[in-house]
Amino acid sequence: MSEVRVVSLPGDGIGPEVTEAMTHVLEAVASKYGHRLTVAEYAVGYHAFEECGTPLPDETLAAAVKGPAVFLGAVGDPRADGLTGDKRPEAALLRLRSELQCFANLRPAKVDQPLVTMSALKPEIASGCDMVIVRELTGGLYYGMPRGNDGTRAVNTLVYTASEVERVARVAFELAGRRRGHLTSVDKANVLEVSQLWRSIVSDLASEYPEVTLEHMLVDRAAMELVTYPARFDVILTENMFGDILSDEASAMCGSLGLLSSASVGGDVGLYEPVHGSAPDIAGRGIANPIGAIRSGAMMLSHSFGLQEEADAVEGAVTRVLADGLRTADLAGPNGKAVSTREFANAVAEAIA
């Protein structure tokens, strides 16, 4: 019997609802496969600020760095609009990523066949889309120095070191080796020296992964092909800003933000979260889509605990439930019948059991 220990940070808005749904599915996995599941819950975000005066209390951070896996529901609240700096809920997420040394963000973008007509793309284009974008998360333009704005001139600096590129590239190569064996490295090497270094480092690593076919692609072409031929991609590797933009573009083809999961990895502890926000306008109504959270739980089983069979079981259960016609409000449409967050999670748990 293996132990699955999760630090749970439900957070704000719909965060507690989707976290509860994910936990329920993990309980079904643990029961079927004979694992011991331990979930320890801590405060984060605006909820934590109200209680403790900080969005990331020391107790929460101490638990998170011990891991081995952290699940985050969502952070953000309109009541925090007047707060600044490290008092804002989002500051908790940024510090968590930093403290956990999460330098690689994994963003799957998969079009579920039962939902293909909900994609922003034509069904014949969206069908078969199943990719993961690996985004470097702690370097590049967002963190480079010097930076500033004096009112007449503004500066941001794009910097990457060879070691930063190599470590995130290895994550992407290894992931591609476990999937369909194709890696697309996206850069702007025709005009940027940083991208030229990026391309050189990635090319040098390719010989260590003979099972993976590597191609390089300029970011403008990648942005175009994401909406014209998305099924061609398996794993996309790119730097921080390009990854930020391309992963949001890819998410539009899936049909709903509620479907999308993510993992931030690299250190000893992984951070897992659905990509949707806290959605305070629907919080407490039981209509939030829990699929992104449930799929983030599946990524946690795979990446933090090495339980690939269990992760595949979760993905398979979600697919079967969708194929059976169950939909949350965001997927049902104005004339469809929607089930609640809890009902959907129950159906996925039963499909596993």
Q: List the beta bridge partners of residue 132.
A: 108, 235
Backbone angles phi, psi at 216, to 5 degrees: -105, 145
> Does 248 qualify as catalytic in the annotation?
yes
Whole-angstrom Cα distance, residue 348 to residue 344? 6
Whole-angstrom Cα distance, residue 353 to residue 348? 9
- Single out the catalytic residue among 33, 130, 143, 248: 248
> Does 204 qualify as catalytic in the annotation?
no
Whole-angstrom Cα distance, residue 327 to residue 343? 10
> Does 32 qualify as catalytic in the annotation?
no
Q: List the beta bridge partners of residue 349.
A: none
Q: List the beta bridge partners of residue 135.
A: 105, 238
- Single out the catalytic residue among 187, 244, 272, 330: 244
CA angle 256, 258, 264 (to 5 degrees): 115
> Does 268 qualify as catalytic in the annotation?
no
- Single out the catalytic residue among 86, 204, 220, 324: 220
- Single out the catalytic residue among 187, 188, 209, 272: 188
- Number of other CB atoms surrounding residue 241 within 10 Å: 16
Three-class SS of 82-139? CCCHHHCHHHHHHHHHHHCCCCEEEEEEECCHHHHHHCCCCHHHHCCCEEEEEEECCC
Backbone angles phi, psi at 137, to 5 degrees: -115, -15
Local structure of residue 79 (DSSP, 8 states): G
> Does 188 qualify as catalytic in the annotation?
yes
Which residues are designated catalytic? 142, 188, 220, 244, 248
